[in-house]
Chains A and B, each alone.
Chain A
């Protein structure tokens, strides 16, 4: 009897402890949702993403959304300006990360989010929802003159050995005005110090720096360029299917992978609709549309379609190096580091070898 009474008292204590610590709040489900608006600010071509938006419109007819297709810089600015959008999508990973680090993202906690792969999310606030390999592309004509490059080392050797052939015929992303280009080169520089030799070589052949993949692909197709470096694979692979002049090469030493990142703005005017949209993006349905009807590879495991991360990994294997979604991205937007990198790039590109070496530690 006494033992019972004591254990009862202990149980009460325990129960109080449990109740105060693990208080679970259930939210009621069901009921017809009221009409809502939704503003999506995205650095992602509306034409490319159209099937996804249509699928969302069908699944949630009560949400009237407005899709604002802007450049990544404009999208980034809209985050901090007045009248913030509900959902922010951008491929400029470091800038997205910096906004989230500053606390401008809303933490989400749906089942989709809990099950989302750890390597493609940060703090449950920002999520990578596409998987886009970075590739090289060349014009068919190139292969008639030289053996096309398969690795970064091949590319460097080719640029050095066939300067006259390639002069003015090489194209790459601009590190100055494009967030994606800058990020890719930053990541490249982390992997190998020979990267700067590559920049020097590219400078020597008067490489052109453009701000989007589409224009690079068109240039290659037209024969204006013979060789392109660091193109978005998602666009390039689809483009190459319709343009036989363009051949896409996924580098066989390593291939970076970029993810488009999405978050719900902290001050979103329509947080419920915004959360619904992000959940849809990460859901089986949303990822299925990505994998089947857009050139962007889906991330979610278990999705069937021509463009899935799993399929790409199966083909290319462990050569894929996704740009990690973590605090390391924040270093890329550090003004001092960015300034130093751009300066380094300029000097290397213009062939100022001494300046390059001096900076090279």
Chain B
């Protein structure tokens, strides 16, 4: 079943949005900080210029510093944003030589200005100010003492400038986001184009067209297309197997039916009831074989196509082997062979399996051995435990199978050139199917000096077995 989990486009858009929001938040913070810094730099330069201008105006008069505040200094201080301004010139005893506001500069700042000029924020009764201080040691004729020049102004202009810069940064960012969004949408369209082409090609494909795909795809889609091709190949092979099986099955059924026809025709031409009887017996035998063949075909088809989980139950292997051996030993077909049972393990071996399938499997192998080994051969059933597996073996001392044909043994209708003997060639195929169904491992091997062994390993059931 195909479950649609969201849209690729929506997912990409969501990712873009998340990225934009995350990245945007960071960028906004950065933009705000740098806007503030840029505004501060611009305005601090004005503070410095004003302080310099006032420093120039410090003069010595009668042994003490005096200052006539230059008009231009205050205009520089106010800036074009018309800030409210503060200035103070302090002598070394921290007396005010000149000042417009009663603002006390903290001792720490006054000390620190002795070393180097500084800019800082200052909270005063007149509001938040940005102040700049520098110390001037103006040389006098009589004495020399350092003078501190402090200037400051309100923050309106800085805030306005910072906001303007920030708005510009935000506008640029939003424009970029919009552009990126449009480009992303276009990119998605272009990127999904090969997928759309592939879909189109698949839709137009004939139902029984199993040829490999013929498409130009990007690297990322190569694996998908390869997988599709493999799927097609498997389907093609499966279909071929099915066709061959059907053809073989028809052929197998046709031969005995043709035989039946010939016999009945010959019998019809004759007027001898003896011949009729002989023909009827032959028809009877042939019908029996055909019926068995049909049964086997059915069973193989069923085994191969039974999808539902097998109804497994706990089966005890020792008992099963004993039963099967006894059953076959009593049959007519086994008269001319020596059917035997090896020593069974003393402990019971439990497996999870279907008893009928196991019986069918062993029966098929015994049946095969009876058919394809010369009279008088011995067939031995064995069972042993190997770690947590039960190992069933059916050995014969017949001619065995040529090594190169061993692997084909389990295909349907393979009689390995022994067309003369009775049999459909389906036995080992059924055995193989059952082994797969039970989840066991099937192994067929030649014995030396002669003979064949068929071995089935089945996983033992949990510890209850002991």
- Interface residues of chain A, those whose CB is within 8 Å of chain B, are 1-3, 5-7, 9-10, 13-14, 17, 21, 98, 100-103, 122-123, 190, 326-328, 330-331, 333-337, 340
Chain B minimum-CB-distance residue to A334 = B69
Produce 1/0 per residue, B103-127, CB < 8 A to A.
Answer: 0000000000000000000000011
A10 touches which of B70, B72, B127, B174 (Cβ 8 Å)? B174
Contacting residues of chain B (169-221) with chain A, CB-CB under 8 angstroms = 170, 174, 177-178, 181-182, 184-186, 188
Q: B428 → chain A, closest Cβ, in Å?
A: 60
Asked whether any CB of chain A lies closer than 8 Å to the CB of B302, the reply is: no
B9 touches which of A1, A7, A328 (Cβ 8 Å)? A1
| Chain B residues near A98 (CB-CB < 8 A) | 100
Q: How far is the CA of A1 from the CA of B192 in the complex (A)?
A: 15
Q: B208 → chain A, closest Cβ, in Å?
A: 37
A2 touches which of B20, B82, B101, B184 (Cβ 8 Å)? B184
Q: A22 → chain B, closest Cβ, in Å?
A: 9
Q: A119 → chain B, closest Cβ, in Å?
A: 12
Asked whether any CB of chain A lies closer than 8 Å to the CB of B16, the reply is: yes
Q: How far is the CA of A337 from the CA of B70 in the complex (A)?
A: 9
B84 A2 Cβ-Cβ under 8 A: no
Chain A minimum-CB-distance residue to B126 = A103
B184 A328 Cβ-Cβ under 8 A: no
A21 B167 Cβ-Cβ under 8 A: yes
B178 A10 Cβ-Cβ under 8 A: yes
B182 A7 Cβ-Cβ under 8 A: yes
Asked whether any CB of chain A lies closer than 8 Å to the CB of B17, the reply is: yes
Asked whether any CB of chain A lies closer than 8 Å to the CB of B409, the reply is: no
Given the interface pairs A330-B100, A336-B67, the reply to whether A2 lies near B13 with Cβ below 8 Å is: yes
Asked whether any CB of chain A lies closer than 8 Å to the CB of B460, the reply is: no
Q: Given A2-B185, A103-B84, A190-B71, 9 more contacts at CB 8 Å? A: A1-B9, A2-B188, A6-B185, A102-B84, A103-B126, A123-B82, A334-B68, A336-B67, A340-B66
Q: How far is the CA of A205 from the CA of B16 in the complex (A)?
A: 87
B174 A17 Cβ-Cβ under 8 A: yes
| Chain A residues near B98 (CB-CB < 8 A) | 334-337
Chain B minimum-CB-distance residue to A341 = B68
| Chain A residues near B188 (CB-CB < 8 A) | 2
B68 touches which of A7, A13, A340 (Cβ 8 Å)? A340
Q: How far is the CA of A334 from the CA of B100 in the complex (A)?
A: 7
B126 A7 Cβ-Cβ under 8 A: no
B97 A327 Cβ-Cβ under 8 A: no
Q: How far is the CA of A227 from the CA of B17 in the complex (A)?
A: 81
Chain A minimum-CB-distance residue to B81 = A123
A3 B181 Cβ-Cβ under 8 A: yes
Chain A CB within 10 Å, residue with most, of B74, B75, B170, B185: B74
Chain A minimum-CB-distance residue to B163 = A21
A6 touches which of B17, B66, B170 (Cβ 8 Å)? B17
Chain B minimum-CB-distance residue to A6 = B181
In the complex, the number of residue pairs spanning A and B with C-beta atoms less than 8 Å apart equals 98
A330 touches which of B67, B74, B184 (Cβ 8 Å)? B74
Main secondary structure of the interface of B (DSSP, over half): helix
A-B contact list, 13 entries, CB within 8 Å: A2-B10, A7-B181, A10-B178, A13-B20, A101-B85, A101-B100, A103-B127, A328-B74, A331-B70, A331-B71, A336-B97, A337-B68, A340-B66
Q: A1 → chain B, closest Cβ, in Å?
A: 7
Q: How far is the CA of A16 from the CA of B186 in the complex (A)?
A: 27
Given the interface pairs A2-B10, A10-B174, A335-B98, the reply to whether A327 lies near B70 with Cβ below 8 Å is: no
Q: How far is the CA of A190 from the CA of B20 in the complex (A)?
A: 58
Q: B449 → chain A, closest Cβ, in Å?
A: 77
Q: A6 → chain B, closest Cβ, in Å?
A: 3
A336 B69 Cβ-Cβ under 8 A: yes
A328 B75 Cβ-Cβ under 8 A: yes
Contacting residues of chain B (24-66) with chain A, CB-CB under 8 angstroms = 24, 66
B68 A336 Cβ-Cβ under 8 A: yes
B85 touches which of A1, A7, A327 (Cβ 8 Å)? A327
| Chain A residues near B97 (CB-CB < 8 A) | 336
Q: B61 → chain A, closest Cβ, in Å?
A: 9
Ordered nearest first, which 8 A-B pairs have the shortest CB separation?
A: A6-B181, A327-B78, A3-B185, A336-B98, A328-B71, A327-B74, A2-B185, A331-B71
B82 A102 Cβ-Cβ under 8 A: no
| Chain B residues near A17 (CB-CB < 8 A) | 170, 174
Asked whether any CB of chain A lies closer than 8 Å to the CB of B77, the reply is: yes
| Chain B residues near A328 (CB-CB < 8 A) | 71-72, 74-75
| Chain B residues near A6 (CB-CB < 8 A) | 13, 16-17, 178, 181-182, 184-185
| Chain B residues near A101 (CB-CB < 8 A) | 84-85, 100
Q: How far is the CA of A2 from the CA of B16 in the complex (A)?
A: 11
| Chain A residues near B126 (CB-CB < 8 A) | 102-103
Q: How far is the CA of A7 from the CA of B13 in the complex (A)?
A: 10
| Chain B residues near A190 (CB-CB < 8 A) | 71
Chain B minimum-CB-distance residue to A13 = B174
Q: How far is the CA of A123 from the CA of B13 in the complex (A)?
A: 48
| Chain A residues near B242 (CB-CB < 8 A) | none
Asked whether any CB of chain A lies closer than 8 Å to the CB of B12, the reply is: yes
| Chain A residues near B12 (CB-CB < 8 A) | 2
Q: How far is the CA of A10 from the CA of B19 in the complex (A)?
A: 12
